[in-house]
Structure 1
Amino acid sequence: MVEIFLKILPFFAVIGLGFLAVRRGFFSEEATVYLTRFVFYFALSAMLFGFSANLDVAAILSWPLVLAYLLGTSVVWLLVAAVALWRGSSREEAVFEAHTGVIGNVGFLGIPMLILLLGPKAVGPVLLVLAVDLMVFSSILTMAITGLRAGRISARTFGILGMGLLQNPMIVSTVLGIGWGATGLALPGPVNEFMSLLGAAATPCALFAIGGSLAGRSAERMQVAAWLSTAKLVLHPAAVAAACWAFGQGGHAAGVMIAAAALPVAGNVFILAQHYRVAPQRVSTAILLSTAASVVTVTAVIALIGKGS
């Protein structure tokens, strides 16, 4: 476990460096926003395209794993939403708390860290988790909030969903990469080197940007945020592990999926909370708490996966 912790530590050290750089004023919050854009639209997209273009489609798509992740995540989503309603939160707040309890930082943190720690074969399961999070649970969030505010789900809601998916570079780059991989053709040398060079910037820049974004967050609604962090870091991987067992899925791929479920709350959940003006303070605090605690919990989960494999 100590060996795993030492391997994970440099990732969180870069996050801490970004945090200190912004907190000390050496790096502005506005600069962090532009760094995040660079990662989101260019570096991470190049990394995803390069990974998926060099993968066999069969190595990515596993329906039993998809169903296991859907089941485990849905159970936690419903539990967190039920607890929020029992506590007296509004239905919109319950939806956002549920989303916070299951959406991890797969893109900026999970892809580089898990592939380094768990090997190149981790790419397929990690991409599956990312696809389900973006295409299923983010769609559920949009439909639920739009439906609650409008009183119904309309054709316009599905139009918003469709445009959102088409404008997400992580989805577009992955789909294009899978499409290229399906042709069986190797990427031309200069293109492959370009993607590799640009994609190599994703990991350090993404981690630095995560830290910078955390520096501007305030710690409020600590009790609720602690519960949401526990749901994300403990309940979510446990539920996915149970679902994998129920579907007879084990081995390396299932372990990677469980590790991906153990990642801290994603920063884009706060962006959505701000956009819809629903519980941004508790979401922000949950991101801060879960990211700080995940250096220990992710280490523990990966250690347990290693013992079970």
Structure 2
Amino acid sequence: MLDILAITTPVFILIGLGFGAVRLGLFSKPDMRVLGTFVIRFALPAMLFQALSQRPFREVMNSGYLLAYALGSLAAMAATVLLARWVFKRSFRDSVVFGMGASLSNSAFIGLPVALQVLGPIATVAMALTMLVENLLMLPLVLILADSAGNRGASILRILRDIALNLLKNPMIIAIAIGFSFALTGIRLPQPLFKAIDMLSLASAAIALFVIGGNLAGSTVKGMGREVALVTGGKLLLHPLAVLLAVFLIPGISAELQAAAVFFACVPMFSIYAILGQKYGLEGLCSAVLVMATVVSFITISAFIWLVKVGGVIPGLG
């Protein structure tokens, strides 16, 4: 158990450091946006490119992983939407926003630092595959459903066009595409350029965790207990369990990638959840969910690591 805490505790210490820095006035919320922009536009794309470009294409493109993670995410989203709609009596649009929180992970800022410590470099490959599922399937799906339910006057084709344009400008998606092309062709960068990319990639994990903590400062969960519990439970319990079942049912996924899929599913929802929730008038609830899920995930991530590495849930990994 101490070995597991040695993996998860540093992650949450860095999150706490960012939280404390903002609460004490050492950094401001705008400072967090600047640091987050650096991570998203430079450090994480560098890490993704570095990991993908150095492996054969057959190792970095795993269709079984993509299918399993997609099925698990869809199942978690559907279950949360149904619970919110029929048990909590929320509108379909609100229910879809709840389902978004239960099925889209903070794979880059929290999932990757944890998975790297447990699984090593293969974690970056898994993150790239996870991001493909999230950005090409899950996020477009929930936005289409939420916007359609809200009667905002935008056609599905227009929504898809806007999503596609945003994806084409997303530095991490661009890095994944270039990394895949290098893996497919076998091209290698000159050593000085590769070294610069390596230095950028080393900065990603610590700064990303610091930013997560800073962004949580000032948020509260008062008065929203039932809904917060629903989305938090959907994300930290339903999502990883659904992905765990899917990776067992889909053949062709190595033990390391099976574990990585579970790790990425059991981290909290993505950090822009509250920003997207603002579009539908749910920014307060989404912020509260993000706080609660991040705090509780210390327990759930540790539990899943124990189940995988000590409990023998995934044979061949331990």
> Partners of 2:177 and 2:269 in 1: how far apart?
24
Alignment root-mean-square deviation, CA: 1.6
> Partners of 1:47 and 1:120 in 2: how far apart?
10
Tell me if the contact between 2:48 and 2:179 (Cα under 8 Å) persists in the aligned partners.
yes
1:130-171: CA deviation from partner (whole Å, max 9, x where unpaired) = 210111111112222332324674432221121011121111
Question: Which has the larger displacement, 233-242 or 278-287?
Answer: 278-287
AA of the residue aligned to 1:228 = V
AA of the residue aligned to 1:256 = A
> Partners of 2:62 and 2:228 in 1: how far apart?
33
> Partners of 1:43 and 1:283 in 2: how far apart?
27
TM-score, with structure 2 as normaliser: 0.92
1:12-59: CA deviation from partner (whole Å, max 9, x where unpaired) = 101100000101111111111111111111111111121121122211
Partner SS, residue 272 of structure 2: helix
> Partners of 1:224 and 1:109 in 2: how far apart?
23
AA of the residue aligned to 1:302 = I
Return 5+ residue gaps in structure 2 as ranges.
none
Matches within 5 A, 1:208-227: 208-220=210-222, 221-227=224-230
Number of the residue aligned with 1:294:
297
The structural deviation recorded for 1:200 is 1.2
Cα gap change, 1:227 to 1:197, in 2 (>3 Å): same
> Partners of 1:119 and 1:44 in 2: how far apart?
16
Partner SS, residue 215 of structure 2: helix
> Partners of 2:215 and 2:254 in 1: how far apart?
36
> Partners of 2:231 and 2:282 in 1: how far apart?
12
Number of the residue aligned with 1:51:
51
Number of the residue aligned with 1:181:
183
AA of the residue aligned to 1:147 = S
AA of the residue aligned to 1:215 = A
Tell me if the contact between 1:96 and 1:278 (Cα under 8 Å) persists in the aligned partners.
no
User: How many equivalent residue pairs?
Assistant: 308
Partner SS, residue 267 of structure 1: coil
Sequence identity, in percent? 29
Number of the residue aligned with 2:74:
74
Indicate yes or no: 2:124 matched with 1:137.
Answer: no
> Partners of 2:49 and 2:210 in 1: how far apart?
22
Number of the residue aligned with 1:277:
280
Tell me if the contact between 2:144 and 2:156 (Cα under 8 Å) persists in the aligned partners.
no
**Structure with the largest fraction of helix:** 1
AA of the residue aligned to 1:168 = N
1:59-116: CA deviation from partner (whole Å, max 9, x where unpaired) = 1222222222111111111110011111221221111100001111101121232122
Number of the residue aligned with 2:37:
37
> Partners of 1:40 and 1:247 in 2: how far apart?
31
TM-score, with structure 1 as normaliser: 0.95
> Partners of 1:291 and 1:21 in 2: how far apart?
17
AA of the residue aligned to 1:132 = V
